[in-house]
Amino acid sequence: MTDVAPTAVDHDRSHDPDAPRTGPARLEIKELAVAFGGLRAVDGVSLVVEAGSIVGLIGANGSGKTTLLDAVSGLVPLSGGRLFLDDADLADYIPEERSRLGIVRSFQDCRLYPELTVEDTLMLCEDARRRVGVLSTTLQMPWARRSEREKRKAIDGVIASFGLERFRLHTTAHLSTGTRRVVDLASIVLANPRLLLLDEPTAGIAQREAEAFIPLLRRLHEVTDSTILLVEHDVPLVFELCSNVVVMQTGEVVAAGTPDEVRRDPRALAAYLGASDEALNVSGPLAAASTPAVPRDEASGEAASGEAASGGAPSDEGG
Amino acid sequence: MSLPPSVVLEGAILGLDYGLLAVGLVLIYRTSRIVNFAQGQLGVVAAVFLVKLYYDFGFNYWIALVIAVALAAAVGALSELVLRRLFNRPRVIVMVATIGLSQVLFLFTVFPFIRPKKLYRAFPVPIDWTFHIGTFLFSPGEVLTLIVAPVVVIALAAFIRLSSWGLAMRATAENAESARLSGVWVRRTSTVAWTLAGALSAVTAVLASPSQTSALTQVLSPDLLLLALLAALIGGMVSLPVAFVAGIGVGVVLDLLQWNITNPSTGPATVELILFLLLLGALLVRAASLQKGARVGERSSWAMGTAAFRTTGDALRKRVGWSGVILTFTGVALLPFVVGVGHSFLMSQICIYGVIALSLTVLTGWSGQVSLGQFGFVAVGADIAAHIGSSLPIVLLLPLAGAATAVVSVLVGLTALRIRGLYLAVSTLGFALFMQTSVLATPCFTLPLIHRTICSGLPNPESTLISRPSLFGLNLSSEQAFAWFSLGVLVLSALMVRVWRDRGVARRLIAVRDNEIAAGSAGIPVVRTKLLAFALSGFMAGYAGVCLAFATERFSTNTFDPSFSILVVSMVVIGGLDSIPGALLGALYLEGLPAIFGSTPTVEFLTSGAGLLAFILYLPGGMAQLLHQFGDLVTAGVTNLRARRSGAPPSDTSGASDLPSADPASPRQGQRSAAGAGALSVADP
**A178 Rama sector, left if φ>0, alpha if ψ -120 to 50, beta otherwise:** alpha
Res. A35: pLDDT tops 70: yes
CB spacing of A115 vs B500 below 8 angstroms: no
Q: Could you give the angle at the alpha carbon of A258 between the alpha carbons of A252 and A264, nearest 5°?
A: 80
pLDDT for B672 equals 33
CB spacing of B522 vs A134 below 8 angstroms: no
Res. A38: pLDDT tops 50: yes
Identify all chain A residues contacting B681, using CB atoms and an 8 Å cutoff: 161-163, 219, 306-307, 309-311
- DSSP per residue over A275-303, as a string? SSSTGGGTTS-HHHHHSPPPPBBTTT--B
Q: For residue B461, what are the CA distances in angstroms to B37, B431, B558?
A: 31, 20, 11
Amino acid at B619: L
CB spacing of B523 vs A306 below 8 angstroms: no
CA–CA distance, A56 with A287 (Å, rounded to integer)? 19
- DSSP per residue over A222-234, as a string? HHHT-EEEEE-S-
The residue among A135, A133, A132 whose CA lies nearest residue A147 is A132
**Distance of residue B569 Cα from the nearest chain A Cα, in angstroms:** 21
CA–CA distance, A166 with B74 (Å, rounded to integer)? 51
CB spacing of A99 vs B678 below 8 angstroms: no
CB spacing of B523 vs A191 below 8 angstroms: yes
Q: Could you give the angle at the alpha carbon of B38 between the alpha carbons of B32 and B44, nearest 5°?
A: 135
CA–CA distance, B36 with B96 (Å, rounded to integer)? 9
Rounded to a whole number of angstroms, the distance between the first and last alpha carbons of chain B is 75
pLDDT for A289 equals 38
3-state helix, strand, coil in chain A (%, to 5): 40, 20, 40
The residue among A50, A28, A57 whose CA lies nearest residue A248 is A57
CB atoms within 10 A of CB B620: 18
Res. B358: pLDDT tops 90: yes
pLDDT for B402 equals 94
**Distance of residue A301 Cα from the nearest chain B Cα, in angstroms:** 9
Q: How many contacts (CB atoms, under 8 Å) link A and B?
A: 193
Q: Which domains does chain A have, with CATH numbers?
A: 27-290 (3.40.50.300)
Q: B 310-339 residues with CB below 8 A of A? A: 310-313
Average pLDDT over residues B274-288: 78
Identify all chain B residues contacting A297, using CB atoms and an 8 Å cutoff: 674-675, 677, 679
B302, B523, B665 member nearest A96 (Cβ): B523
Out of B167-181, B331-345, B533-547, which region has the weakest mean confidence (pLDDT)?
B167-181
- DSSP per residue over B146-210, as a string? HHHHHHHHHHHHHHHHHSHHHHHHHHHHH-HHHHHHTT--HHHHHHHHHHHHHHHHHHHHHHHGG
Q: Could you give the angle at the alpha carbon of B277 between the alpha carbons of B274 and B281, nearest 5°?
A: 135
**Distance of residue B678 Cα from the nearest chain A Cα, in angstroms:** 5
CA–CA distance, A170 with A301 (Å, rounded to integer)? 22
B666, B675, B685 member nearest A157 (Cβ): B685
Q: Read off the pLDDT band of B139 (50, 70, 90).
A: confident
Give kind and range of the element (H or E) at residue B268: helix B267-291
pLDDT for B534 equals 92
A167 interfaces chain B, CB cutoff of 8 Å: yes
**Distance of residue B233 Cα from the nearest chain A Cα, in angstroms:** 26
CB atoms within 10 A of CB B326: 10
B514, B525, B677 member nearest A113 (Cβ): B514
**Distance of residue B546 Cα from the nearest chain A Cα, in angstroms:** 21
**Distance of residue B350 Cα from the nearest chain A Cα, in angstroms:** 24
Strand, helix or coil for residue A196: strand
Among B492, B503, B682, which would you mutate to test the A interface (most chain A Cβ atoms within 10 Å of its Cβ)? Answer: B682
CA–CA distance, B74 with B42 (Å, rounded to integer)? 10
Res. B149: pLDDT tops 80: yes
Res. A309: pLDDT tops 50: no
* Percentage with pLDDT > 70 across chain A: 78
Give kind and range of the element (H or E) at residue B403: helix B394-413
Q: What is the mean pLDDT of chain B?
A: 77
CB atoms within 10 A of CB A32: 23
| pLDDT tens per residue across span B416-439 | 676 665 677 778 888 888 887 776
Q: Are A283 and A276 in contact (CB under 8 A)?
A: no
CB spacing of B677 vs A112 below 8 angstroms: no
Q: A 113-152 residues with CB below 8 A of B? A: 113-117, 120-121, 123-125, 127-129, 132, 134, 137-138, 140, 144, 148, 151
| pLDDT tens per residue across span B289-309 | 665 544 444 444 444 444 444
**Domain boundaries, given as residue ranges, for chain B:** 5-116+125-260, 312-626
Q: How long, in residues, is chain B? A: 685
Q: How long, in residues, is chain A? A: 319
**Distance of residue A125 Cα from the nearest chain B Cα, in angstroms:** 6
| pLDDT tens per residue across span B5-22 | 778 888 888 888 889 889
The residue among B255, B205, B268 whose CA lies nearest residue B51 is B205
Cα-flanking dihedrals φ and ψ of residue A306, to 5°? -155, -175
Assigned fold of B5-116+125-260: ABC transporter involved in vitamin B12 uptake, BtuC (1.10.3470)
Q: Are B430 and B373 in contact (CB under 8 A)?
A: yes
User: B5-116+125-260 with B312-626: one CATH topology?
Assistant: yes
Average pLDDT over residues A15-28: 67
Q: A 205-264 residues with CB below 8 A of B? A: 212, 216, 219-220, 223
A116, A185, A312 member nearest B514 (Cβ): A116
A75, A171, A313 member nearest B680 (Cβ): A313
| pLDDT tens per residue across span A194-233 | 898 988 887 777 777 777 778 888 888 888 888 999 888 8
B265 exposure class (CB count in 10 Å sphere: 0-12, 13-18, 19+)? exposed
Out of A82-91, A139-148, A280-289, B166-175, which region has the weakest mean confidence (pLDDT)?
A280-289
The residue among B299, B303, B309, B301 whose CA lies nearest residue B622 is B309
Q: A 62-81 residues with CB below 8 A of B? A: 73, 75
Q: Could you give the angle at the alpha carbon of B321 between the alpha carbons of B316 and B326, nearest 5°?
A: 125
| pLDDT tens per residue across span B114-127 | 777 666 666 777 77
| pLDDT tens per residue across span B518-553 | 888 888 888 888 899 999 999 999 999 999 988 888
Cα-flanking dihedrals φ and ψ of residue B610, to 5°? -65, -40
Q: Are A96 and B525 in contact (CB under 8 A)?
A: yes
CATH code, B312-626:
1.10.3470
pLDDT for B400 equals 93
CA–CA distance, A283 with A83 (Å, rounded to integer)? 33
Rounded to a whole number of angstroms, the distance between the first and last alpha carbons of chain A is 52
Out of A258-272, A275-289, B136-150, which region has the weakest mean confidence (pLDDT)?
A275-289
Res. A253: pLDDT tops 50: yes
Q: What per-residue string of b and e applies to B307-322 under the rule 16 or more CB within 10 Å gives b? A: beeeebbbebbeebbe
Angle between helices B374-388 and B394-413 (to 10 degrees): 140
CB spacing of B522 vs A300 below 8 angstroms: no
CB spacing of A182 vs B671 below 8 angstroms: no
Angle between helices B611-618 and B562-575 (to 10 degrees): 40
B539 interfaces chain A, CB cutoff of 8 Å: no
CA-based radius of gyration for chain B:
27
Angle between helices B562-575 and B222-234 (to 10 degrees): 80
Q: For residue B109, what are the CA distances in angstroms to A42, B112, B610?
A: 62, 8, 15
A21 interfaces chain B, CB cutoff of 8 Å: no
Identify all chain A residues contacting B675, using CB atoms and an 8 Å cutoff: 297, 300, 302
CA–CA distance, A239 with A261 (Å, rounded to integer)? 11
- DSSP per residue over B285-341, as a string? HHHHHHHTTHHHHHHHHHHT-S--------HHHHHHHHHHHHHHHHHHHHHHHHS-H
Average pLDDT over residues B316-323: 83
CA–CA distance, A68 with A45 (Å, rounded to integer)? 9
Strand, helix or coil for residue A47: strand
